[in-house]
Structures are given as structure tokens and as C-alpha cells.
Amino acid sequence: MIVVADTSPVSNLHAVGSLNLLPELYGEILVPPAVAIELAQAADLALRVQDHPWIRVMAPTRQVAALDWHIELDPGEAEAITLALDLGAEVILVDELEARDEARRLGLRPTGLLGVLLLAKKQGLISSVGKAIRDLRQKTTFWMSREIINLVLRGAGEDPI
């Protein structure tokens, strides 16, 4: 399975001590150079992808600027979407709504951090999505609406908040 990741799912899982979920769920994760740079430069994170053998940095072959983007994407999102298109990725891990919409428009299958947690629960890798969401709310600036939280909790068979 080819899985490409943007910065947010990787950085937020790392921040709550759950980065191990990615290789357990997907095996190898591909990130473009812009994402590797964003992960390394985050002051409170400093995640070095080279310290994780299951994360591989790969540059897109087509030029990001040559694509017909209808919205503003940050460099990590643009490169991640471009790399996913290049490789025909089965999944792109991306959280920002505009980037997810653009990925869908281009025929990709995006999933975000909450989708990763839901899959981890379904596969028995975590016992509670609610606990993971509480950790995210306490330790990160990851924004989640109450409606999305409750949708994910119901999908996990847990009580809404």
C-alpha cells in the first residue's frame, strides 16, 4: 500500500506519543521534502524523519507549480498531493480541509488524524479514541469541531462528548 503523509498527522501523533500507529497501520509512509523540513523545523517537535526507518522522503517528479491549484496550499500539502498523484497512492494523510478537498477533487483518497485514530481503534491498536482525542486537545493545537469529534466517537462505538 502506498501512503503519503502531510505534516499534521505525523506531527500530532508524535506530539501525543502515538507515532508508532503509522507503521503499524500502513507500514512505510512516504513524505515529500517540504514535509520533512516542516517536521524538522517545528520548534516544539523537531522530528527527524531519518530517525524513523519506516518514513521515507521522496520528491514528487512533476512540478508542484505546474499543477492547476484552485486554492492556496502550503508547501507540504502541495508536495504531498503531488507525490500522491505521482505514485497513485492509495491513501494521503492530510488534515486541512482545503487540502483534503483538493486531494478528493484530484481523485485521491484523503484521511486525517482522526481517521487514523478510528482505524487504529478498529484494528485493536488503541483502546479508546476518546482518550486519544483528549490527549490531542491537551498537548497540541490540533483543532477539531465538536461535531467531528462526536462523529468519530460514534464511529468508534464510544460515547459522544
pLDDT at 79: 93
The label of the residue with cell 505514485 reads 87
Residues 6+ apart with CB under 8 A from 10: 19, 22, 29, 31, 35, 39, 47, 55, 93
Domains held by the chain: number: 1
Per the domain annotation, does 100 fall within a domain? yes
pLDDT at 66: 47
Per the domain annotation, does 25 fall within a domain? yes
Per the domain annotation, does 125 fall within a domain? no
Per the domain annotation, does 144 fall within a domain? no
Per the domain annotation, does 8 fall within a domain? yes
pTM for this entry: 0.91
Per the domain annotation, does 32 fall within a domain? yes
pLDDT at 44: 63
Per the domain annotation, does 38 fall within a domain? yes
CB neighbour class for 67 (10 Å; exposed up to 12, middle 13-18, buried from 19): middle
CATH number for the domain that contains residue 16: 3.40.50.1010
Q: What pLDDT digit, counting tens, does each position of 135-146 carry?
A: 999 999 999 999
* Regions in the chain scoring below 50 on pLDDT: 66
pLDDT at 122: 95
Per the domain annotation, does 157 fall within a domain? no
Domain carrying residue 51: 3-114
Q: What pLDDT digit, counting tens, does each position of 44-75 carry?
A: 666 778 888 999 999 998 766 545 555 678 88
